[in-house]
Amino acid sequence: MARERSTTRREALSMDVGFVGLGAMGRAMARRLLAEGHPVRVWNRSPEPVAELVRAGASAAGSLAEAFEAPVVLSMLADDRVVESLLLDEELLAGARAAVHVNMATVSPALARRAAELHARHGLAYVAAPVLGRTDVAAAGNLNILAAGPSAELDRLAPLFEAMGRRTWPLGEDPAAANVAKIGANFLLVSAIEAFSEAAALAEANGLDPAALLEVLTNSLFPGPVYAGYGAMITQQSFEPAGFRLALGLKDVNLALDTGAASQVPLPLASLLRDALLQAVAHGHGEADLAAVSTTSRARAAI
Amino acid sequence: MARERSTTRREALSMDVGFVGLGAMGRAMARRLLAEGHPVRVWNRSPEPVAELVRAGASAAGSLAEAFEAPVVLSMLADDRVVESLLLDEELLAGARAAVHVNMATVSPALARRAAELHARHGLAYVAAPVLGRTDVAAAGNLNILAAGPSAELDRLAPLFEAMGRRTWPLGEDPAAANVAKIGANFLLVSAIEAFSEAAALAEANGLDPAALLEVLTNSLFPGPVYAGYGAMITQQSFEPAGFRLALGLKDVNLALDTGAASQVPLPLASLLRDALLQAVAHGHGEADLAAVSTTSRARAAI
Amino acid sequence: MARERSTTRREALSMDVGFVGLGAMGRAMARRLLAEGHPVRVWNRSPEPVAELVRAGASAAGSLAEAFEAPVVLSMLADDRVVESLLLDEELLAGARAAVHVNMATVSPALARRAAELHARHGLAYVAAPVLGRTDVAAAGNLNILAAGPSAELDRLAPLFEAMGRRTWPLGEDPAAANVAKIGANFLLVSAIEAFSEAAALAEANGLDPAALLEVLTNSLFPGPVYAGYGAMITQQSFEPAGFRLALGLKDVNLALDTGAASQVPLPLASLLRDALLQAVAHGHGEADLAAVSTTSRARAAI
Amino acid sequence: MARERSTTRREALSMDVGFVGLGAMGRAMARRLLAEGHPVRVWNRSPEPVAELVRAGASAAGSLAEAFEAPVVLSMLADDRVVESLLLDEELLAGARAAVHVNMATVSPALARRAAELHARHGLAYVAAPVLGRTDVAAAGNLNILAAGPSAELDRLAPLFEAMGRRTWPLGEDPAAANVAKIGANFLLVSAIEAFSEAAALAEANGLDPAALLEVLTNSLFPGPVYAGYGAMITQQSFEPAGFRLALGLKDVNLALDTGAASQVPLPLASLLRDALLQAVAHGHGEADLAAVSTTSRARAAI
């Protein structure tokens, strides 16, 4: 396996990549591809990020269609709506020379199913490969990549994934599965934040320093980046700058709820999170870090 | 500091300990004290565990009063009610020779406050030192001990705590704070289990193997024993033997809610957990492992 | 005022009405208009209901455009999506001779706002007039009509509303307000059903006949049709035939949640109702009466 | 039946009644008994209400034991704890000449079961007869009385119930059933208030006057005193004077939850109400009217 990978890697040096969507995550990921020697032609709705990437060695695609002339196209767009309007386009796909489109955004499994079917109709493979990790993780090439789609395509894409991530998790042939995994991960993330927020309010009201509680927890039951990172923001009630915007967390919880509704799976904890996040938005914390949902636990208790 | 500890440790070799409450946890902890050379006189309501510990080198206290003749008494009883009826006894405390009583059970901060006051009235120090870890962790002397009470007492108790735990977390002078920390930790534990249970149901209904989801999560956002251990039981839907009984988890969530009510801190997530746990009890899972709360997520979705 | 009304009524005898959407409610309402002497030209996607209404004295519109040649058009379609695709059509509205379009369906206030703006652009007035009451109430002309829009239009429409309803509730100039009122009413309806469902489960598990509880309640605190009607179905656990389909109730609760999300108003009770309804759908009760949400309360308690 | 009643009524004129607990409700009820010609000996912990009732024609019992010398004793105490400490007293019951004790307070079915057993052991019948109605309703003799206990006792008590209530609802032989009914009624009451509170917040944020919404609702789906009365307080955000104190509403919702827990019936709506009421208490509304729980819906939405 290790040998096979390194072979693939060598071959990949000549792999031409189209990259669509140069937000903060997209830029960091495209830079990693360039750093590993992949020629990248980039496209973005606004021109500034394109110019930035061109300075870093990318070429600029004059249109989406031009980006889809590369054999492999990666996209990292904001949400279902943007993907739908830009990429699920009969004309674009009919004219594409690309063999595979890898959608790395956090979108619904319903969109993945529609996309896979539409791509297949036009002879393209569709791979879903959403990622775990913020922009700093992306910049370091340390993302966890949750990938699902035709296994031959996943093999072919391995060198690109290796350029961007520390590990790729193959989740089967059905692209939707990767989106479900990403949605599940973010749902657990927000759950952990709400749980610690409530515990911190309980602690504070009962004479226990939430920071002391956090130290115990992260050194015993709950190691890892989530409790430590968000926990510190919560104990300090400091939510700027936003590593993960609260409004995006609400979008992701809504994805979980919509996916649950479509598959008849009630998710009462996701409902609770949605209400708490919505309350935080109503109180002006939509652009703050996700950890600002903790303001709601404090407000309930008049702390 | 290290030197001071080792001195204390030497002195502790002659520290006589009374130990009340020989359930599975109490037995494992008392054995650790014996293993580290502390003379232990044990008391328990039923005689069998006493006999077992005597075989292991303990002496049997003929009565609670006799256990309270030791300079230090540790207790590990089931809940508030049992502690209240057995140990918050004017006569017992009035006649005690013990200088300090260390309550290591998971009880309410309200009980801790009453206990501290009652002990003080009779000249005893009261320390709360609930623990994180199941019986296997206790047997290995690897508990995390959450300790709060007069700091001089915490210093004096260090060698006993070291015999039982891998680390002691001092949480201040107010014993109630340690109970709040323990309640908070268990609340987060059950929260994590419910969150993964809902995510697993969502995964299963959408063609993603919950075990694959779990593998991604525990290798990225959520390392540590909680997600891995309970997650495996959930993906296998296997809840026997019970490492942590579901009925006890319900008791602990109720402690969180009662503590919240007493301090006017609403905890909607704890309310949700209580309802899910109660549903699991209604369906016969009270004696199964806490992970059996996941049956509720599946039942909601008719999986 | 009474005199003015009767004048308007006389004039209305010659008022030509287009009617779009002949589901069970639409048919009953169109028949009432015919019964009061209003010429009605009907349109429906499937032909059978058109034929039925023609036998009852209506004329058939050959197209939507033909229906919109009448000075007043009433529509009673299924939901936002259907209204959007059929009626929020630039071409249709540009060519319409109608002066006013009265949307009597239960749709979102967001749709009402878009519709009002689009109609205005084409010189039509837009009135929202959703109704309270099932088909039997509609057939008897006893609906409660929640009407909002330009007040001159509401005056002009009075005779039509009187033909269909026992009372019209004017809710201001902004059509969206009427939709909010309807959504609020249905949210309260489902809330009352869930509350009684939980109380009935509690009663049953504690030796109190839920029917006895219902009798007390409907004769004291909770008179009126909701508790009595749905309560009886719940105490008998009999949900056929469906007077109000559970799936429609879920649609309406989702409208409440979407409206709340758009206006940053968390509605935790609506979230709870959504989860309970979704669970009932997952268990096969989507086509049963709304009262079947009570199966969820019983399932939780293993009754 | 009517004849039988009037006979019983005549006989009752000589029925001597002990009355324990002269809070606002107890005083109003005892006065009704006096007004209908029943001799009443009253007992209360504080003396002022006793003096007031003596001025109204009652006699003062020098002790609880003296009150229990009457053949029938009615009690109207605050809660489980007070009933338990004052009346579930072996000595008191052993020495009582009373044949029946009628507990009219809102207490748990668990207490009713313990009480019935204890009374039986001492040869007394125990009847539970909690009431629906506030003090003004009690003063007018218009309570709804929910009565359960031995049917011969219910017959015998009819004239007393008729003096206090507009209707008596016999709920079987098991006293606990009456308490379950009362708890269920109050749970529905708080549910209705929360539902309207959320709907009112949604209305307000969407340009619909909550008072207009209320007018529609109370004239269509939701007639009766609950929606109209609490609804008006909510639309006016005016919560003084408190007809039904919010803290008491929280006590009653806790009774529902405790009863649910004891009988393994999850009540998620009651959990939601508890959290909302607790939040209102945390914000200083515990002594305001129950309608003040609506402040919570507004706070969530930053209204």
Residues A125 and A262 in one domain: no
Residues A152 and A270 in one domain: no
| pLDDT band at residue A281 using 50, 70 and 90 as cut-offs | very high
Burial of residue A247 (number of CB atoms within 10 Å: 0-12, 13-18, 19+): middle
Residues B76 and B199 in one domain: no
Burial class (CB in 10 A: 0-12, 13-18, 19+), B3: exposed
Cα separations in angstroms, A290 against A144, A197, A203, A300: 20, 11, 21, 18
| Bridge partners for B75 per DSSP | B20, B103
pLDDT above 90 as % of chain B: 95
Is the separation of the CB atoms in B196 and B235 below 8 Å? no
Q: Which residue in the set C208, C256, C276 is minimally distant from D202, CB to CB? A: C256
What is the average per-residue pLDDT within C198-212? Answer: 98
Query: Which among C264, C272, C274 has the least Cβ separation from residue A278?
Result: C264
Angle at B290 (CA atoms; ends B147, B232), nearest 5 degrees: 105
> Is the alpha carbon torsion for A64, A65, A66, A72 positive or negative?
positive
ipTM of the complex: 0.94
Asked if B272's CB is within 8 angstroms of D271's CB, the reply is yes
Write down which residue in B156, B173, B190 finishes a domain. B173
Q: Do C220 and D174 touch (CB under 8 A)?
A: no
D218 within 8 A of D229, measured Cβ to Cβ = no
Among D66, D118, D111, D113, residue whose Cα is nearest residue D90:
D118
- C93 in the same domain as C222: no
The percentage of chain B sitting over the pLDDT mark of 70, rounded to a whole number, equals 95
Torsions phi, psi of D178, nearest 5?
-65, -40
Chain segment A89-140, per-residue pLDDT in tens:
999 999 999 999 999 999 999 999 999 999 999 999 999 999 999 999 999 9
Give chain B's domain count.
2
End residue of a domain, out of C141, C156, C173: C173
Amino acid A261 reads A
Q: Which residues of C touch A266 (CB under 8 A)?
A: 275-276, 278-279, 282
Who among B268, B279, B284 is closest to C300 (CB)?
Answer: B279
Phi (first) and psi of residue D80, to 5 degrees: -50, -45
What is each CA distance from B263 to A300, B286, C292, D141, in whole angstroms? 12, 28, 38, 39
Reported as half-sphere exposure (CB side, CA atoms, 13 A), residue C193 has a value of 35
Q: Which residues does chain A have within 8 Å of residue D301's beta carbon, measured at their own beta carbons? A: 279, 282
- The answer to whether the Cβ–Cβ distance between C278 and A272 falls below 8 Å is no
Domain with A221 in it: 180-300
Both B138 and B194 in one domain: the answer is no
Q: Can you spell out the DSSP letters for chain D?
A: -HHHHHHHHHHHTT--EEEE--SHHHHHHHHHHHHTT--EEEE-SSHHHHHHHHHTT-EE-SSHHHHTTSSEEEE--SSHHHHHHHTS-HHHHHH---SEEEE-S---HHHHHHHHHHHHHTT-EEEE--EES-HHHHHTT-EEEEEBS-HHHHHHHHHHHHHHEEEEEE--S-HHHHHHHHHHHHHHHHHHHHHHHHHHHHHHHTT--HHHHHHHHHTTT--SHHHHHHHHHHHHT---S-SSBHHHHHHHHHHHHHHHHHTT---HHHHHHHHHHHHHHHTT-TTSBGGGGHHHHHHHTT-
Chain A residues lying within 8 Å of C293, measured CB to CB = none
D198–C167 CB contact, under 8 Å: no
Task: Determine whether the interchain pair B282/C300 forms a contact, defined as Cβ–Cβ distance below 8 Å.
Answer: yes
Of B142, B173, B204, the domain-final residue: B173
Shortest Cα distance, chain C CAs vs residue B302, angstroms: 6
Helix (H) or strand (E) holding A170, with range, is: strand A165-170
With bands split at pLDDT 50, 70 and 90, how would you rate the model's confidence at D9? Answer: very low
One domain for residues C33 and C126: yes
| Confidence band, pLDDT 50/70/90 cuts, at residue B15 | confident
Place of tokens 């605190």: C221
| Residue of chain D whose Cα is closest to the Cα of C203 | D180
Is the sign of the CA dihedral A168, A171, A177, A181 positive or negative? negative
Tell me the chain A residues in contact with residue B171 when contact means C-beta distances shorter than 8 Å. Answer: 208, 212, 216
Contact assignment for A271 to C275 by CB distance below 8 Å: yes
Paired sense of beta strands B17-20 and B72-75, if any: parallel
User: Chain D: residue nearest C219 by CA?
Assistant: D144
Q: Give yes or no: residues A159 and A195 share one domain.
A: no
Does B300 touch chain A if contact means CB atoms closer than 8 Å? yes
pLDDT 10s digits, C122-178 = 999 999 999 999 999 999 999 999 999 999 999 999 999 999 999 999 999 999 999
pLDDT digits (tens, 9 = 90+) for B114-171: 999 999 999 999 999 999 999 999 999 999 999 999 999 999 999 999 999 999 999 9
Q: Is residue C249 pLDDT above 60, yes or no?
A: yes
CB-CB neighbors (< 8 A) of D176 in chain C: 206-207
Mutate to test the interface with D, among A275, A300, A303 (most CBs of D within 10 A): A300
Give bridge partners of residue C17 from the DSSP assignment.
C40, C72
Give the pLDDT confidence of D99-144 residue by residue, as tens digits.
999 999 999 999 999 999 999 999 999 999 999 999 999 999 999 9
Residue C283, chain B, CB below 8 Å: the answer is yes
In a shared domain, residues A15 and A107: yes
Measure the CA–CA gap between A272 and A183, rounded to whole angstroms: 16
User: Is A226 in the same domain as A124?
Assistant: no
> Which other chains touch chain A, taking contact as 3+ CB pairs less than 8 Å apart?
B, C, D
What is chain C's mean pLDDT, rounded? 95
Same domain, C86 and C64: yes
Token pair in block for residue B89: 């006894």
Torsion sign (Cα): A149, A155, A157, A163: positive
Cα distances (angstroms) measured from residue A20 to each of A30, A60, A79, A114: 9, 11, 13, 19
The helix-helix angle for B175-205 and B246-262 (nearest 10°) equals: 120
Same structural domain, B198 and B98? no
> In this structure, what token pair is assigned to residue D73?
């004793």
CATH number at residue C46: 3.40.50.720
Residue of D nearest to B266 (CA): D275
CATH of the domain at A293: 1.10.1040.10
In this structure, the answer to whether residues C151 and C26 fall within a common structural domain is yes
Would you list the DSSP string of C143-188? EEEEEBS-HHHHHHHHHHHHHHEEEEEE--S-HHHHHHHHHHHHHH
- Tell whether A281 lies on the interface with C, counting CB pairs under 8 A: yes
